[in-house]
Amino acid sequence: MLGKILIYVIVTVLTVLVLNPHYFTYTYFLTRPLLQPFAMERMLVFGVPITGLMALQLALFTVFWGIVRKDFSFRVPNILPLYILLFFALMSFINSVDVYASMAGFAKLVTAVMSYVLVYNVIKEEKDARKLLLVIVLATLIPMAVGYYQFFTESGGKAIGGLTNRVKGTLGMANAYGIYLALSLCATAILLLHPRWRVNKRLLGMAAASMVVSSVIALNRGTWIALSFAVAVATMFYIRKIRIRWILFGAVVVFGLFSNLIYERFQQLEGGEHNEMNTLERRISYWKSTWAFVPEHLLVGWGIGTAQQVMEEHFDVADVTHNDYLRLLLETGIFGLAAYLFFLGRQAWLALRRLRYKNLWYINYPALITIFYFIIISMPQNIYDHMVNLPLFFSLIAISYRLVEFELSRTGGAVQHKPGLQELNRNRRGKQLVRHAASKFHS
């Protein structure tokens, strides 16, 4: 009963905030992770699933603001591939094996895309980005507190194969919780690295440390590997800017405190129904089986949101393909997957191009970690239909775009390609003026 009252209050507040896009955005990202347990239980609000209702609010309000407000636009950077993805997701209804599942899947995808449009438009200046990032960090506190409670009381989820106590916070699933923490950690990194923002870096550092610890006790091996790789690659590019000793010190502390837990997790075999396959082997088996059905509806797929129904119908397995790319190929066809890959690939390419601009490092370093992590973790996980993690990822991309624009605007469009270049140009110009004045004097 208390949960329903909380939901009604939040939904009502979000409805009232249609008058203020900024506060709507802050409230949505602050409260959405808290409501995920009710979404997992398929709780209804006004006869509609809570996931569908909040998705409808965000999507409709964003469209409404885009129509009535002159400072809102649907043409945001790199948005075209996502619109193409939505088009082919809609086309996939032709072959859908479950229309209601496709409607739910399409609503989730629209929500994620509209969150990208919304966040880009509500950030008008740097302080808006700072506030939203602080909201994202603040939103992790209750999920982490719940996660610690689950860990110490051993009330977390029970993994297949007997390994117990996989904490899941308020996200409902341990894997989703680990991904949520990793993305929130990237948001925290932007706040910590920004040279001009007045924030309490001590508290932010404590929050970041808590996110790392919470990620460890979530026992999400995929996140451990993907995030470690992303941080290592991004740090390699910015080795002169990042205090590598602190990263190494943090890694040593984490491994020292949780070495047994980490070792146990990698050694643990999570068997299938009869414990004959570990997690990776089982997922590879799913991938191979899924491939067999892709050619049948190669162009527009089997229907957005229907991967589980297809698996149940053909393999009698109540699970989905643990691979976002293969799942998109199955559900939306080759063109939907191509659009999504183009979006991610372009984000990675733009982040790599920004390596030339030394004064953008504090923005681009977390952006590199975010995109590399997301590309890798999408291989063994299901993210694109998650109502917390995919909008959060898109929002971080939108924030990075805006911060780059603000930095270029602040410097008059000037960027420093390598150390000393601006000073060198000024010196050359000064020498030319001296020579010109000297020639005038002697003439």
Coil, strand or helix: which one is 45?
strand
CA 261 to chain centroid, in Å, comes to: 26
Residue 435 pLDDT class (50, 70, 90 cuts):
very low
Give me the percent of the chain exceeding a pLDDT of 70.
86
Give me the percent of the chain exceeding a pLDDT of 90.
49
Write the DSSP symbol of residue 157. Answer: B
* Mean per-residue pLDDT, 338-352: 96
Residue 139 pLDDT exceeds 50? yes
Nearest by Cα to 365 from 216, 226, 191, 223: 191
Q: What's residue 410's pLDDT?
A: 81
The residue that leads in pLDDT, 155 or 63, is 63
End-to-end CA distance of the chain: 93
Residue 86 pLDDT class (50, 70, 90 cuts):
very high
Give the integer Cα–Cα distance in Å for 5 and 91. Answer: 38
Which residue has tokens 């960090």?
137
Give the integer Cα–Cα distance in Å for 113 and 104. Answer: 15
Tokens (6 digits) for 124: 């008008």
Q: What's residue 250's pLDDT?
A: 81
Residue 422 pLDDT exceeds 60? no
* Mean per-residue pLDDT, 331-337: 95
CA 278 to chain centroid, in Å, comes to: 27
Q: What's residue 163's pLDDT?
A: 54
The residue that leads in pLDDT, 425 or 219, is 219
**What are the CB-based long-range contacts (under 8 Å, 24+) for 272-276?**
272/160, 275/161
Residue 421 pLDDT class (50, 70, 90 cuts):
very low
CA distances from 303 to 86, 306, 382 (A): 12, 6, 16
> Is there a contact between 397 and 347 (Cβ–Cβ < 8 Å)?
yes
Q: Rounded mean pLDDT of the chain? A: 84
Question: Angle 341-331-277 (CA atoms, 0-180°, nearest 5)?
Answer: 90
Q: What's residue 429's pLDDT?
A: 52
CA distances from 116 to 73, 323, 396, 437 (A): 11, 22, 9, 55
Q: What's residue 264's pLDDT?
A: 78
Helices 126-139, 174-193: crossing angle, 10 deg rounding: 140
Q: What's residue 154's pLDDT?
A: 84
| CB-based burial label for 227 (10 Å; 0-12, 13-18, 19+) | buried
